[in-house]
Amino acid sequence: MGYSVRYDFHSHTHFSDGVLSPEQLVARAEEMEIDLLAISDHDSISGIEQAKAYIIANNLNLNLVNAIEISAQSDFGEIHIVGLNIDIKSSKLLSLIAEQQDKRWQRARAYELKFQKLNIQGVLSELETSCKQVVTRSHIARALVSLGWVKDNNQAFKKYIGKKGRVRIATDWIPMEQAILTIQYAGGLAILAHPTRYPMSVRRLGYLIEEFKIANGDAVELAYPSLTPDKRGWLEVQRKKNDLMASGGSDFHYPHLKWSDLGRFPMIEKNIPHVLDQIKDRLQS
Ligand code: AMP
Ligand code: MN
Ligand code: MN
Ligand code: MN
């Protein structure tokens, strides 16, 4: 089958910080002629069943791969791990999700306290009405915009909640090892998401990829919109050295960002071991 199949193994719905409903996401995947889509919401699987029901009701050809993007703690800082082809009924996975969602609401309350000290009012109550399930910093950014405290999301991150902003809260996400184990216990593959987007030096990123492999991680994302060709070359060397597979995805959140639309990311060469090889049997229908 090769990689002529149009796939996207990283995308979000409004159950985390995407803006589309699962139905709208599926419709967009159809428009973009995607054959195989992973919905990988932050610490949530709630969009998946709804997307499946829509596919069946409309008799669509799109195949879904169950997925999630888990925030985790590594020795080098916070990372994101995509769990691909997971059993969404796994009780260990479900309790990890409940724990993470709870941590996220605790963090939202901690943000509220810090905002109040800066005389910024109303963020938490805005989140309580605007947020469907998982509360992310994207929701906080949108709340700051709609309450008029900043002009856009960019400014919200820059001024307040980004890595150099005034309001920073450390969250004790579950350890990387536990996230990997839980994904694998649920029958899935653990993929280190967008490695070059973490705020760390190249040297430390190299160590992180090694640690990820030592913790039995399966793959790294090697194709995503913001990855430049020279960084990709470097990443491929690390992937190979650590005997990891490759995956790819757009990390789709919003339809208006053309450069990160569904299915828009560079091809991965056929000679590179790909997570797709492991889940090919799902492509038969
Ligand atoms: P969280 O997991 O709640 O900390 O939120 C992280 C999410 O915020 C990421 O998945 C991105 O979608 C979004 N995000 C992070 N940094 C930025 C930024 N500088 N500008 C816009 N969105 C961002
Ligand atoms: Mn996000
Ligand atoms: Mn991410
Ligand atoms: Mn993502």
Closest ligand (CA of 193): 3
pLDDT of residue 271: 95
- The enclosing H or E element of 235 equals helix 229-241
CA of 285 to the centre of ligand 2 (A): 31
Query: Mean pLDDT throughout 168-182?
Result: 96
Counted residue by residue, the chain has a size of 285
Mutate which of 12, 19, 137, 171 for ligand 1? The one with the most ligand atoms within 8 Å of its CB, which is: 137
Query: Mean pLDDT throughout 183-202?
Result: 97
Residue nearest (by alpha carbon) to ligand 1 atom 21 = 154
CA of 23 to the centre of ligand 3 (A): 22
CA of 117 to the centre of ligand 2 (A): 27
Query: Mean pLDDT throughout 116-143?
Result: 97
Alpha-carbon span 62 to 54, nearest angstrom: 11
pTM passes above 0.95: yes
pLDDT of residue 283: 55
**36-63 burial: b if 16+ Cβ within 10 Å, else e:** bbbbbbbbbbbbbebbbebbeeeeeebb
pLDDT of residue 2: 46
CA of 284 to the centre of ligand 2 (A): 31
Query: Mean pLDDT throughout 236-262?
Result: 92
Q: Which band of pLDDT confidence, cut at 50, 70 and 90, is reported for residue 13?
A: very high
The 3-state secondary structure of 86-145 reads CCCCCHHHHHHHHHHHHHHHHHHHHHHHHHHHCCCCCHHHHHHHHCCCCCCHHHHHHHHH
Closest ligand (CA of 159): 1
Q: Residue 203 pLDDT > 90, yes or no?
A: yes
pLDDT of residue 143: 98
DSSP assignment of 162-217 equals STTSS------PEEHHHHHHHHHHTT-EEEE--GGGSSS-HHHHHHHHHHHHHTT-
Closest ligand (CA of 71): 1
Q: Which residues line ligand 1 (CB under 6 A)?
A: 17, 42, 71, 136-138, 153, 157, 162, 253
For the chain, the distance separating the N- and C-terminal CA atoms, rounded to the nearest angstrom, is 13
Q: Which band of pLDDT confidence, cut at 50, 70 and 90, is reported for residue 256?
A: confident
pLDDT of residue 280: 78
Alpha-carbon span 138 to 150, nearest angstrom: 13
Q: Mean pLDDT score of the chain, rounded to an integer?
A: 95
pLDDT of residue 3: 61
pLDDT of residue 67: 98
CA of 248 to the centre of ligand 4 (A): 12
Mutate which of 136, 221, 259 for ligand 1? The one with the most ligand atoms within 8 Å of its CB, which is: 136
